[in-house]
């Protein structure tokens, strides 16, 4: 045990606490006394409440929140920081939904609208960096005419050409839309996708579950409950998924907490989520472009609060495309254990004004992680270690 003196506005708070985690170099300290009982819960492995989460969002003591998130992160993963070598494929940007949050979707036959022929998608998959990718990340718009069979053929064709590559494909929103268009249940749709070669789902389209916010930013999408129901069904048929949250637009702290608690409850039920990915909103070229972009403080705090509240999620990702490589790197000391992958060609956030590169090389990711004092671990989509040569890789199972 360590005796810790915490000074707060003239008061001295004496704290008895376990020694800091072996990786951490200094004890917990704070100038916000509301964080003391939360610290006690975190160190005891107790679950945080809605009220605790609101305190974490509300405090200005980012270093104390970061200390706690880092403590949890190091208890779960030590010094390991994960990345992967992946490629994004966006087969179409044609979309019926017209979400206000979006700069990617286009109406059919309008300037900039595109849909890849299957052969073009296969060529895209093979292009880009020479490093062998372990994952295709496939998401796109809600096309009014493309048949479900196009998407099944896309996945099975990729699987045939790249049998070793994991197919992380289709948001819950795309799954629900394709189910509706093909007059199948969500479960039947997911089963057909799995049979075609889908290995897991990326977890996009969750945005913010709050109806109030959803009506404004994405009123044509499935609602929060439908997103959660689709994820539940995916997990029930053996497909793992990630989960996302779009923040930094018109939501408030209560909306963020509500979103996290709903995800935590579903994870208790299914255990099917692998990674939580908070996505910073990029307003440029959207109908919400009058809004500010997120700040570094908000981004870092979002990562830390996510790590502390989502106690049943194995991984918290600081997605470098959305956060910038610099914030993603710092996040590795504030709760994140993953910074995503090489990506190669990101379209969705670059249409919304992202100034990050469209892709990073493997050695760039390794350097970011090493300079954060962490141990880079190349993973596959299921977080199994990858060993590679220049043009091939082996997954440890
Ligand atoms: S966010 Fe997705 S569903 Fe909404 S308009 Fe953009 S591509 Fe379509």
Which residue's alpha carbon is at the smallest distance from atom 4 of ligand 1? 99
Q: Give pLDDT, residue 25.
A: 66
Q: Work out whether the CA dihedral 213, 65, 312, 268 comes out positive or negative.
A: negative
The 3-state secondary structure of the chain reads CEEEEEEECCEEEEEEECCCCCCCCCCCCCCCCCHHHHHHHHHHCCCCCHHHHHHHHHCCCHHHHHHHHHHHHHHHHCCEEEEECEEEECCECECCCCCCCCCCCECCCCCCCCECCHHHHHHHHHCCCCCCCCEEEECCCCCCCCCHHHHHHHHHHHHHHCCCCEEEECCHHHHHHHHHHHCCCHHHHHHHHHHHCCCEECCCCCCCCCHHHHHHHCCCCCCHHHHHHHHHHHHHCCCEEEEEEEECCCCCHHHHHHHHHHHHHHHHHHCCEEEEEEEECCCCCCCCCCCCCCCHHHHHHHHHHHHHHCCCCCEEECCHHHHCHHHHHHHCCCCCCEEEECCCCCCHHHHCCCCCCCCCCHHHHHHHHHHCCCEEEEECCCCCEEEECCCCEEECC
Q: Separation of 289 CA from ligand 1 center, angstroms?
A: 16
Buried b (16+ CB within 10 A) or exposed e, 55-79: bbbebeebbbbbbbbbbbbbebbeb
Closest CA to 17 of 80, 30, 73, 66: 30
Closest by CA to 207, choosing from 263, 274, 269, is 263
CA of 93 to the centre of ligand 1 (A): 8
Q: Alpha-carbon distance 186 to 175, whole Å?
A: 7
Residues with CB under 6 A from ligand 1: 95, 97-99, 102, 104-105, 141-142, 173, 218, 221
Q: Hey, what are 187's tokens?
A: 């479960």
Give the C-alpha separation, 181 to 77, whole Å: 42
| Closest ligand 1 atom, residue 101 Cα | 1
Instruction: For residues 364 and 186, give the distance between their C-alpha atoms in angstroms, rounded to a whole number.
Output: 39
Question: Which atom of ligand 1 is least distant from the CA of 103?
Answer: 6
Nearest atom, ligand 1, residue 104 CA: 6
Distance (angstroms) between ligand 1 centre and the Cα of 118 equals 21
CA–CA gap between residue 248 and residue 59 (Å, rounded):
17
Q: Is residue 129 within 8 Å of 342, Cβ to Cβ?
A: yes
Q: Which pair of tokens denotes residue 362?
A: 């493997």
* pLDDT for the residue 397: 64
Pick the atom of ligand 1 nearest to 98's CA: 5
Length of the chain: 397
Residue 393 CA, ligand 1 centroid: distance in Å? 34
**Distance between Cα 304 and ligand 1 center (Å):** 28
Which of 94, 202, 221 to mutate for ligand 1's pocket (most ligand atoms within 8 Å of CB)? 221
Instruction: Give me the pLDDT at residue 130, please.
Output: 60
Ligand 1 centroid vs 140 CA: distance in angstroms?
8
Q: How far is CA 373 from the centre of its chain?
A: 22
Distance 94 CA to ligand 1 centre (A): 9
Average pLDDT, the chain: 91
Task: Supply the pLDDT for residue 21.
Answer: 57
Atom of ligand 1 nearest to the CA of 173: 3
Q: Tell how far the Cα of 126 is from the centroid of ligand 1, in angstroms.
A: 26
Spans in the chain with pLDDT lower than 50: 1-19
pLDDT tens digits, one per residue of 232-256: 999 999 999 999 999 999 999 999 9
Q: Which two tokens stand for residue 316?
A: 């918290």
Take atom 1 of ligand 1 and give the residue whose Cα is closest. Answer: 102
Cα distance from N-terminal residue to C-terminal residue, the chain: 39
């Amino acid at each position: 045990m360590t005796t810790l003196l915490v000074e707060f506005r003239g008061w001295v708070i004496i704290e008895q606490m376990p020694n800091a985690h072996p990786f951490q170099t200094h004890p917990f300290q704070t100038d916000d006394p509301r964080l003391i009982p939360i610290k006690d819960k975190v160190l005891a492995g107790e679950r945080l409440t809605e009220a605790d989460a609101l305190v974490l969002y509300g405090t200005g003591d980012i270093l104390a929140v970061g200390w706690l998130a880092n403590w949890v992160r190091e208890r779960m993963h030590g010094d390991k920081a994960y990345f992967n070598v992946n490629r994004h494929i966006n087969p179409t940007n044609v979309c019926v939904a017209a979400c206000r949050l979006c700069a990617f979707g286009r109406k059919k036959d309008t300037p900039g609208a595109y849909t890849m022929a299957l052969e073009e998608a296969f060529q895209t998959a093979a292009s880009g960096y020479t490093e062998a990718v372990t994952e295709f990340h496939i998401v796109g718009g809600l096309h009014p005419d493309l048949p479900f069979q196009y998407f099944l053929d896309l996945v099975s064709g990729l699987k045939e050409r790249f049998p070793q590559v994991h197919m992380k494909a289709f948001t819950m929103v795309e799954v629900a839309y394709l189910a509706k268009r093909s007059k199948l249940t969500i479960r039947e749709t997911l089963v057909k996708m799995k049979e075609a070669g889908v290995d897991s789902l990326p977890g996009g389209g969750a945005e913010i579950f709050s109806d109030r916010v959803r009506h404004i930013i994405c009123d044509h999408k499935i609602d929060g409950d439908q997103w959660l129901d689709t994820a539940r069904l995916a997990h029930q048929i053996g497909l793992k998924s990630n989960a996302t949250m779009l923040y930094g637009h018109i939501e408030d702290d209560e909306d963020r907490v509500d979103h996290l608690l709903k995800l935590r409850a579903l994870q208790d039920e299914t255990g099917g989520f692998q990674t939580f990915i908070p996505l910073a909103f990029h307003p440029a070229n959207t109908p919400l472009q009058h809004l500010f972009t997120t700040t570094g403080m908000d981004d870092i705090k979002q990562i830390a609060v996510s790590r502390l509240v989502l106690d049943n999620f194995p991984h918290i990702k600081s997605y470098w495309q959305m956060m910038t490589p610099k914030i993603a790197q710092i996040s590795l000391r504030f709760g994140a254990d993953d910074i995503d992958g090489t990506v190669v060609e990101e379209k969705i956030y670059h249409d919304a004004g992202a100034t990050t590169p469209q892709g990073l090389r493997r050695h760039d990711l390794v350097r970011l992680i090493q300079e954060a004092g962490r141990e880079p671990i190349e993973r596959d989509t299921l977080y199994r270690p990858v060993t590679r040569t220049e043009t091939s890789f082996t997954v440890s199972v």
